[in-house]
Structure 1
Amino acid sequence: MPVVLQAGSFGRIRLIYVLVQYVDETPKFGHTAVDSSSGTPILNSSAAGVSPPTPAFTPSHYSHIYGSTPETLTTIDAPKNYGHAPWPRISPREACLLRYFIEELSRWFDLTDPHNNFATSIPQRARSNPILLDAILAASARHFSTLPSDQKAHIMSHYGLSPLPSHIHDSNSELSITEETVIHYHSRCIAELRVLANEPHAVMDEDLLAAVVVLRFFEELDNPFTSPPTETALHGLHVFLRAQASSALLVPGPRQASFWIGFRQEFNLAFSQQRNTNLPLEITDSYLIFTGAEDHVWTNRLVVLGARVLEFSYGSSPSNDLEFNELVRLRDEWVDKRPRSFAPIYTESPDMDTAFPKIWYTDDSHITAAQTLLLINILLLAYSPSIPRIGPSRRQTLESIDAQIRTIVLEICGMALSNRQSRPAGLTACIAINLCADRFTDPQEQRALMGLVVGTTRDSNYWPTKEAERRLRGIWGWDGDDD
């Protein structure tokens, strides 16, 4: 059934996810509900302590081991059953989606997290937090539902499950994952968030921060970054990031992991939409001091610097020479002091057959840092106060800047193609292409860039390219199928 979402309120703070129309009654915590898409009962989280009955153990159970019943077993308590009951509230379909999130999608989140919280601790937290669980199930269902049928079947087989034949479409099957499945989990998550709308301390809940980050990822699966800002997860992301920034930066853990994911999501969106960020930059001042630290910290420092560059570029006074020079100095200091591990393990210049260089890395955080550095360089080139406003040198300067930006974009794309194991690298490349497409006039380069954009959806089932493809065709003046 169609569900319409709009921005809402979370306590006294403007937040997210208020349904204009929510037809199904939201199951109350602690009661049994029915999955509308499968018809199977759903046990809510308050029943987490309920386990299957433990079989009685007697000394006779051990006679086959010892040959006879040891006398000690008659004087001590019988051993417990050490088997593990499955999660409550988990159907076979939900177990499949949860596993898919952990094994496939968590890497999108854990780029700069050495502890891989979104593959480990955060899914475990979903055991007792139905909102976080439904956010995970919604995002997982959205991504899984877009996969080709043969890929779905391969994953099901890998999980030891038997999916329906491809020519049979049964939305009531326990293993059917369709658009209705996506709407079901997403709508239920929204309704559960509404239950907490009047809780004054909810905005400080780290599990809800993780849920909002996952829901923001859900939105990214549906909306190209070139679209105007959305009014759902984006607002919730801003609220939670500002509320939890101070505590998130103090102690490593799930809250800190969620904070940096949300920070990076907002940086990417603001860059693609050519606007300032809505981030608590004053809280991150310590990240612009480049002392010794682990590699993931160095990557986060660069994202913080990138947010400052966005603030300069799209703020009220982008022509401030002193501020610009300070940003350049910080960029250069980061480059000079970064650990040697950030250097690529292999590079190769483009040849006559390809427009992109080969640049190999061994770690997701290094790829993220390298591409972020290049995005920063694009902004510093485009918004340099030294660009002549008038005079004969203006055109020559702009042509030089455009040439440098083209080289940077091709390098970002080369990183994405050389490191396909890091799927978000392709997304970053698409952002750079869409923002700088007007600088490319060479047909061979245009075809190569279009191929990367289209291939990103094909390979990652992420970031719809129809609108992006249409936009690129318009910029490059392509008519019909002449590509």
Structure 2
Amino acid sequence: MPRPVPENCDEALPDCQNCFKSGRTCVRSREPPIKYIIHTINPELQKCLFNAQQNATDGRSISEQDLNKVRLSVSRSPAVALEDLPIVTLFRHYIDVLAPWYDLNDAQNMFGTIVPVRAILPGNAILFKALIAFSACHMNRTAQDLAQLGSVYHASCVEELLAALNDVSLDHHEDYLAATCLLRSYEILNGDMRRHQNHLLGAYSFATNRPIDLTIRGLAQTGTWNYLREEITVALESRRSVRFSTGFHFVPELVMADQWANAITFILAKTINLCFSDASNESMDERNNLWQALAAELASWRHGLPITFQPFSTASRPGNVFPSIWLLRPWHGKFIHFKSLNRADLCLIVAAEQYCSVIEILLELSRPCSTETSLRPPAIDRSRETIVQHVLKICGLAYTNDNIPARVNAFGPLAFCGRYLREATHRN
């Protein structure tokens, strides 16, 4: 079958003209889709989850009566739909299990507190349907017969979202941005990592075409950072640039822990673009200057880190073939002020440290070759060793610390750096 073409793509090469005029990266992909693998250290559970994922889209059918009930449910208001136990269960599953994924770098837990409240408000069915669709898709990995329900809610949400985009006022801009993040997660879990990326493109449009003040806190800001992390995940796996507006600018006030995490997220996005963007229109001096600027930003970020970001132990964890890196584990979701802090948020720190190591790898891979000595075997060996050490650190952080949101966020870094593992014990 011919590949689907986005409505805003005219297929011109190398970039469609609509993307070129908007200053955006063309989103077409010639890569086949891959599967999103859920990790667990329990081999039997890993096998169970993998088999469930393989069978998730095998076309399991439900009875016509049950299908009609699902269609009736999706046509109702959130308040009425929540009178059905399956929908209540999915709504609760989102709050308890999935929302923390999105609140990874958010001290206010917007996706766990504000999104559920907004989702059940009258006239906000798009956000509610995106939430239920994603929750059903995730629960379908361990429960049966939820794929059809998730698909129906997903299709209805997409239809309403596309219709809403014709409204230039976009009164629910924050809610639609949050919904596109949830829809993108639905697509990732369904194995649509490279091929279509339809709703990641939708989040991209929301995040780049409307001004969002990142110096304040709110659902729009949280949605923007979630969009950027989802973009980074896909960009690292697909080895392509990150799509964000040239006007995207972030100067953090490095007092709160989530600001440190957002700062390194932004540096990583820019570093990915240095490595994977088309450099044909840039001079060698321009690229070298950009490399130096990013290296300086990373050094500044690392130099200013509070001591709470440092591991408290490297004691070997049984069964872990990677370096064990133990980080502080407090309660999740508290505001963290470093002037009075003696503990920091585990999942946030794990993600930030992994992003930092990915930047180190990318900078090493793209290091300017200014002299002949940089091409000599000792320099090459040092470069390889640096890369391997950071890869082992990324894996060690993922395997030592059990925080689920941090492990979910680690998918992009792990997918990117796995190719640099040398030892069979590490690769296995």
Task: Give ranges in structure 1 of 5+ residues lacking alignment.
Answer: 15-33, 49-86, 153-175, 448-483
- DSSP 3-state at the match of 1:374: helix
The CA deviation at 1:229 is: 5.0
Larger radius of gyration: 1
For residue 236 of structure 1, what is the aligned residue in structure 2? Answer: 202
2:354 to 371, 374, 378: 371
The structure whose residues are more often strand, as a share, is 1
For residue 105 of structure 1, what is the aligned residue in structure 2? Answer: 98
Is 1:271–2:236 an aligned residue pair? yes
- DSSP 3-state at the match of 1:36: helix
For residue 142 of structure 1, what is the aligned residue in structure 2? Answer: 137
Contact 1:114 1:296 in 2 (8 A): yes
Rounded Cα–Cα distance in structure 2 between residues aligned with 1:213 and 1:352: 35
Rounded Cα–Cα distance in structure 2 between residues aligned with 1:40 and 1:269: 32
Question: TM-score scaled to structure 1, two decimals?
Answer: 0.65
Instruction: In structure 1, give the amino acid aligned to 2:141.
Output: T
User: What's the % identity of the aligned pairs?
Assistant: 22
For residue 425 of structure 1, what is the aligned residue in structure 2? Answer: 407
Cα deviations by residue, 1:407-446 (Å, 9 ceiling, x for unpaired): 2111111111111123443552x43444344433322222
Rounded Cα–Cα distance in structure 2 between residues aligned with 1:213 and 1:354: 34
Cα deviations by residue, 1:326-365 (Å, 9 ceiling, x for unpaired): 1111111111112222222322368997233233242221
Instruction: In structure 2, give the amino acid aligned to 1:304.
Output: F
Task: Map residues 39-78 of structure 1 onto 2, 5 A cutoff.
Answer: 41-42=72-73
Rounded Cα–Cα distance in structure 2 between residues aligned with 1:392 and 1:113: 41
* Alpha-carbon distance change, 37 to 391 in structure 1, aligned in 2, over 3 angstroms: farther
Contact 1:203 1:243 in 2 (8 A): no
Task: Give ranges in structure 2 of 5+ residues lacking alignment.
Answer: 9-17, 23-64, 330-344
* Alpha-carbon distance change, 203 to 284 in structure 1, aligned in 2, over 3 angstroms: farther
1:118 to 103, 111, 126: 111
For residue 385 of structure 1, what is the aligned residue in structure 2? Answer: 368
The CA deviation at 1:181 is: 1.3
- DSSP 3-state at the match of 2:166: coil
Contact 1:203 1:239 in 2 (8 A): no
- DSSP 3-state at the match of 1:247: coil
- DSSP 3-state at the match of 1:347: coil
Instruction: In structure 2, give the amino acid aligned to 1:36.
Output: L
Between stretches 93-102 and 303-312, larger displacement belongs to: 303-312
For residue 412 of structure 1, what is the aligned residue in structure 2? Answer: 394
Rounded Cα–Cα distance in structure 1 between residues aligned with 2:396 and 2:291: 28
Rounded Cα–Cα distance in structure 2 between residues aligned with 1:258 and 1:284: 15
The CA deviation at 1:38 is: 2.6
Task: Map residues 319-338 of structure 1 onto 2, 5 A cutoff.
Answer: 319=284, 320-338=287-305
1:258 to 218, 223, 228: 223
- DSSP 3-state at the match of 2:251: helix
Cα deviations by residue, 1:58-106 (Å, 9 ceiling, x for unpaired): xxxxxxxxxxxxxxxxxxxxxxxxxxxxx33322111110100000011
The CA deviation at 1:252 is: 1.2
Instruction: In structure 2, give the amino acid aligned to 1:114.
Output: A
- DSSP 3-state at the match of 2:120: coil
* Alpha-carbon distance change, 182 to 392 in structure 1, aligned in 2, over 3 angstroms: closer
Contact 1:204 1:243 in 2 (8 A): no
Contact 1:204 1:240 in 2 (8 A): no
* Aligned residue-pair number: 350
2:128 to 133, 137, 152: 133
For residue 189 of structure 2, what is the aligned residue in structure 1? Answer: 221
Contact 1:216 1:233 in 2 (8 A): yes
Contact 2:314 2:323 in 1 (8 A): no
Is 1:179–2:147 an aligned residue pair? yes
Is 1:442–2:404 an aligned residue pair? no
Contact 1:121 1:254 in 2 (8 A): yes
The CA deviation at 1:6 is: 6.7
For residue 85 of structure 2, what is the aligned residue in structure 1? Answer: 92
Rounded Cα–Cα distance in structure 2 between residues aligned with 1:257 and 1:377: 26
Rounded Cα–Cα distance in structure 2 between residues aligned with 1:38 and 1:325: 59
* Alpha-carbon distance change, 37 to 376 in structure 1, aligned in 2, over 3 angstroms: farther
Is 1:212–2:180 an aligned residue pair? yes
The CA deviation at 1:248 is: 4.4
Cα deviations by residue, 1:218-240 (Å, 9 ceiling, x for unpaired): 12212275xx3524112112101
Rounded Cα–Cα distance in structure 2 between residues aligned with 1:434 and 1:394: 30
2:67 to 32, 36, 52: 36
- DSSP 3-state at the match of 2:69: coil
Rounded Cα–Cα distance in structure 2 between residues aligned with 1:409 and 1:401: 12
Instruction: In structure 1, give the amino acid aligned to 2:423.
Output: D
Instruction: In structure 2, give the amino acid aligned to 1:256.
Output: Q
